Amino acid sequence: MSLPAIFLAHPFAHRGLHDRAVGVIENSSAAFDAAVEAGYGIELDVQMSRDGVPVVFHDDMLDRLTSRRGPVADLTAQELETVALDGSTDTILPLPYVLERIGGRVPVLVEIKDQGARDGFPAAVGHAIAAATGPIAVMSFNPSYIHGLEGLNAPRGLTTCAAEDYGSDLPAETRSRLARIADWGPGLSFVSHDHRHLEDSRIADLKAEGASILCWTIRSKVDAGAALKLAHQITFEGFRPD
């Protein structure tokens, strides 16, 4: 499946159009509402709750953005809905609710965060996407998650970066394979690559083969201009690209 043109028409607000200084927290309803109002696409992150529900949150630990401590995966989805994001009345919400709230008004990139071999995680995300309306694509740093969603009627892609930027807990051989994007294959539509390494020859090769090239995370108009010489679209935060 090719990446529909709507995904390339506007920049993606990284974790929504957030600004913690004014109480609009990343991956929150307020951040997603702001992105929709501004006409940007939305990139969001998904973890899985203890009871197997995909929830919208970036970190695997609650500590950075809430007053709670410990793994997101230790709490049920219902419990997470009571956990306030710091400086906000927003809480951690289930993916199905968030997709319904966005309602297809802008394109959405769903990034599945890596929880290893935890059973049912990619499938639960796939079910949420299949039940939603509007343009939604799914991606992950974990290729097995994406290849496991082969039957999903939505664009699929890989989130990628240089070998040294993958977690040190991964074996060197695995980091090297991921950096080479060796898991690219039929049925995939795009990569979302670290903008600092868009000049990698592998990115040029994929682009020549027809892959759409997205990139992350752009934090200035200067970087946006440079990235768009090589990528089809950007994911940004901390400024307005237009």
Provide the pLDDT for residue 208.
97
Q: Is 193 helix (H, G, I), strand (E, B) or coil?
A: strand
Residue 159 backbone zone (phi > 0: left; psi -120 to 50: alpha; other: beta): beta
- Single pTM value for the model: 0.97
* Overall fold of domain 5-236: TIM Barrel (3.20.20)
CA 213 to CA 229: how far, in whole Å? 11
Handedness of CA 174, 191, 1, 112 (dihedral sign): positive
Provide the pLDDT for residue 1.
65
Provide the pLDDT for residue 168.
82
Provide the pLDDT for residue 190.
99
Provide the pLDDT for residue 119.
85
Provide the pLDDT for residue 111.
99
- 58 in Cβ contact with 41 (< 8 Å): no
Provide the pLDDT for residue 242.
85
Provide the pLDDT for residue 2.
81
CA 92 to CA 20: how far, in whole Å? 15
Could you list the pLDDT tens digit for every one of the 242 residues in the chain?
Answer: 689 999 999 999 999 999 999 999 999 999 999 999 999 999 999 999 999 999 999 999 999 999 999 999 999 999 999 999 999 999 999 999 999 999 999 999 999 999 877 889 999 999 999 999 999 999 999 999 999 999 999 999 999 999 899 988 899 999 999 999 999 999 999 999 999 999 999 999 999 999 999 999 999 999 999 999 999 999 999 999 98
Per DSSP, the residues of 172-189 read HHHHHHHHTTTT--TT--
Q: Which amino acid is at 59?
A: D
